[in-house]
Chains A and B, each alone.
Chain A
């Protein structure tokens, strides 16, 4: 029973890992850029939802839409002013522009919001559903369901709309997409906006059980990379599988090893998996 409980807990948190990591993989898929600053948008999303709760009285689960919208806009701006300029730069330069961006966003947040830890209080954050011997935490479940909704919406967007298809086309072959009359720059802006927006959304939905402060991104940055690499860089389905896998590995490992070593187990699985499948679980040979 404890095993079932651990798997359930792992899936709950894994769903959230998936949604915050889809953004990272989307940015990589369309632009080939690894965005080290991605987790900072998670932090910004959390702050937006926090202030929406504090001043507008919005539950973070609703505020998450606001987080998504605002960060989507910010993402487009960042893409136009910054990322666009390094699209053709060597990969090293690209990585470290985003490292610079990480430092800038984190410290701007420190200056603007202060260093306090902030947390919302909601009625459901201390409740759990009880199914026989199993507990399902309501805030975790809410975050999981919101992530699921978000995943479905993204799937509908990429498969069912012209923009979504155009974005995928740009990811597959920018040149051909251009010849088909798709504005690749526009698509990259949308992809980046969507990518960081999704991560911000994921940040907002965990706010009922997580505190926000300017350095909260550091707690997620390595995890997000693990998720997307595990699943296969650039693959949205891979990020979902990777997210759930990371959540379950973290949770189940605590049944056999000290909790202190949960990430050790995770990273060893990660390195081993890469050795066996160098392009990730769902990554094709590229």
Chain B
């Protein structure tokens, strides 16, 4: 009781005195005050010579690698737009990226989004790679009426009737469905009828929704799912999964996971001489590290992907030259998002979120980076889903990922082979 009395009486006085004592503390406090007060100051001035675009991606935590890839793609396109004269409809205004770390916590993603909207007057936000982060962020952007452009997979993103969210790629359930349809066709082309499959997936939003797509499609195509196992994220030992797989008569295995589990799964399969075709669910199966880690064992591994760099080498080679690795799909799709946003700004003619939203939802975008998308165009429906997106299947060939399905997009022949 005594201590409480002291604390509450003293606390305010202390801060004043401390601030008087040490000039550097005062500067810190002033900086803090300024940071909190900025909303009103910056609200007065819409920047004329530049357009602020928010980028919210995980730069630390478990998904950092994908966040960094995404940022790389976005930064490259921003530079291209700016060197080509910026947004012409806005007197050559430059794209000014405001990048922030969403970490791996949905709360942080939402808070960061709020900050971009109030402090930086962003006209739109790109992000946030992981579905849970995007969902949390979209709750903020929807209420503040700021367009959010994303390449996250989750069905929920455009399934809630939101008006300000734009999903540039297929939903997880569509990807899961295509993962099986494509495989069935490729197997059929090799003279094998696909009758039984094994699904294993990490128990995250990504893994579960994609597995649901696989499961539903299997039922529709009359393919038996002989193994259907979720496993905890960050599993330290995949042997139980492979032991189960060995006991089945699956003709192909569909793992939906990131890199660590993916490598463990394939290596453990090799140890037990299981040579089934492996069809990954994007994630860790379509990044250069996969090949680097597995070497020759990567050859022939297939994966579903929402996009691939070989669809527009003339655009994506610039990325490879600049960063030293091929343009991974999250970088590619984020690049498309920014390019589409720039086109929408041209149409809107003003850096106003509402006008940009109108342009985004009422336009069919073509040219530029849209050429990297499967239909060379982007068109959002009323839910914000890009109706022209199409999943494709890729296969590892040496150092490269080659699109092998569907036929009209294929850059190489699919090889039906075990891992």
Contact = CB atoms under 8 A, between A and B. Distances in A.
Interface stretch (B115-123, B132-140, B143-151, B227-235): B227-235
A17 B97 CA distance: 45
Given A118-B289, A119-B292, A128-B271, A219 B234 contact: yes
Contacts of B62: 213, 215, 218
Contact of A135 (B61, B203, B244, B271): B271
B155 to A, nearest CB: 20
A284 B10 CA distance: 47
Contacts of A139: 267
Contacts of B259: 117, 119, 211
A210 B261 CA distance: 8
A171 interface: no
Nearest to B200: A259
B129 to A, nearest CB: 12
Contact of B230 (A220, A259, A263): A259
Given A115-B64, A135-B271, A260-B229, 13 more contacts: A114-B68, A115-B65, A115-B67, A116-B289, A117-B289, A119-B289, A121-B295, A126-B271, A209-B268, A211-B259, A250-B236, A254-B240, A259-B241
Interface string B182-204: 00000000000000000000010
B60 A110 contact: yes
Contacts, number: 112
Contacts of B203: 260
Nearest to A216: B260
Q: How many interface residues does chain A have, given as a range?
A: 35 or more
A118 B284 CA distance: 12
Nearest to B228: A258
Nearest to A247: B237
B295 A251 contact: no
B50 interface: no
A116 B62 CA distance: 10
Interface in A112-156: 114-121, 125-128, 135, 137-140
A167 interface: no
A98 interface: no
Interface in A13-72: 13
Contacts of A251: 237, 239-240
By CB atoms of chain A within 10 A, which of B272, B284, B295 has the most? B272
A251 B65 CA distance: 30
Nearest to B261: A211
B297 interface: yes
B263 A211 contact: yes
B260 A210 contact: yes
A219 B244 CA distance: 23
B156 interface: no
A6 B243 contact: yes
Nearest to A261: B232
B294 interface: yes
Contacts of B60: 107, 110, 115
A200 interface: no
Contacts of A213: 62, 65, 260
9 contacts: A13-B236, A13-B239, A115-B64, A117-B259, A214-B64, A215-B61, A259-B231, A259-B244, A262-B231
Contacts of A219: 234, 236
A135 B394 CA distance: 32
